[in-house]
């Protein structure tokens, strides 16, 4: 069963106390203890696993979406630098904000509200998986360090979400990792599509590094409109996207 779990992208980790944790799709977590067994009935785990196998075989599940959980940085003291920069420059004041790919940036929402945001809605396929929030329109969409951990097919889906959720007169603020940190701060174990497979911990995951010109070109190619660089965090690019005609936007 463990091999099947790995096949669909579930993350299996052994803990110091001898138990095993399994991070499954849709933010589901299971624990196996040699003393007490599974934290939920085994039949439930097998049912979910078979659902993911069928979804994978039909092309409706990409293991990288679950594996992307391993890329989420745990912000224990401060929000991410892009969030701080956006707030300090008054870009969320009076706005309805969608934080797309929240991850473990637990301070971001409060920081944006303190900066004058009318509301902040979180979406993350692993930590805040309610996709119904993507059916609404927002004045501002914030998406930091998400696009660079997804291969092209998954990345295209995220661009579609951004374009669909951003109001016609709204703005999206997107930040990605640069090429230098990908090549120098991660253990590269292979190449995949337009990036690399890196393994810094127990599970491999995808990483792509961007230079600013490449990132802006990709944004415009995926969503149309206009894009420009707002700020650089060393080699990482924070860009602004303004909607225009876009092939990625759905008719409403």
Tell if the pTM clears 0.85, that is, is over it. no
Which residue intervals of the chain bear CATH 3.40.50.150? Answer: 71-242
Among 49, 64, 92, CA closest to 158? 64
Q: How confident is the model at residue 251, as a pLDDT?
A: 39
149 class by beta-carbon count within 10 Å (0-12 exposed, 13-18 middle, 19+ buried): buried
Low-confidence ranges of the chain (pLDDT < 70): 27, 59-77, 201-203, 245-252
Q: How confident is the model at residue 70, as a pLDDT?
A: 56
Q: How confident is the model at residue 11, as a pLDDT?
A: 72
Would you list the DSSP string of the chain? -HHHHHHTT-EEEE-TTS-EEEE-STT-EEEEETTTEESS-HHHHHHHHHHHHHHHHTT---HHHHHGGGG--B-SSS--HHHHHHHHTTSSTT-EEEEET-TB-TTHHHHHHHTT-SEEEEEBTTTB--GGGGGS-EEEEEEES-GGGS-HHHHHHHHHHHHHHEEEEEEEEEEE-BHHHHHHSS-EEEEETTEEEE-SSSS-EEE--B-HHHHHHHHHHHH-SEEEEEEEETTEEEEEEE--S-SSSPP-
* Tens digits of residue pLDDT in 60-101: 665 545 555 555 555 556 888 999 999 999 999 999 999 999
Q: How confident is the model at residue 247, as a pLDDT?
A: 42
Q: 71-242, what's its fold?
A: Rossmann fold (3.40.50)
């Amino acid at each position: 069963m463990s091999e099947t779990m790995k096949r669909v992208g579930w993350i299996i980790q052994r803990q110091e106390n001898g138990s095993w944790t399994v991070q499954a799709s849709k933010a589901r977590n299971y624990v196996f203890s040699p003393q007490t067994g599974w934290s939920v009935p085994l039949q439930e785990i097998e049912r979910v696993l078979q659902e993911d196998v069928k979804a994978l075989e039909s092309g409706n599940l990409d293991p990288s979406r679950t594996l992307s959980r391993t890329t989420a940085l745990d912000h224990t003291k401060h929000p991410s630098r892009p969030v701080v920069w956006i707030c300090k420059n008054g870009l969320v004041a009076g706005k309805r904000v969608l934080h797309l790919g929240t991850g473990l940036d637990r301070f971001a929402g409060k920081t944006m509200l303190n900066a004058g945001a009318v509301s902040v809605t979180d979406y993350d396929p692993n930590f805040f998986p309610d996709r119904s929030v993507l059916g609404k329109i927002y004045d501002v969409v914030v998406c930091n360090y998400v696009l660079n951990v997804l291969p092209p097919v998954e990345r295209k889906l995220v661009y579609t979400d951004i374009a669909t959720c951003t109001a016609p007169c709204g703005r999206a603020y997107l930040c990605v990792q640069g090429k230098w940190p990908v090549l120098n701060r991660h253990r590269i174990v292979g190449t995949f599509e337009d990036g690399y497979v890196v393994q810094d911990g127990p599970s491999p995951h995808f990483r792509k590094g961007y230079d600013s010109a490449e990132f802006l070109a990709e944004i415009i190619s995926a969503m149309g409109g206009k894009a420009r660089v707002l700020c650089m965090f060393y080699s990482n690019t924070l860009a602004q996207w303004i909607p225009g005609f876009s092939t990625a936007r759905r008719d409403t």
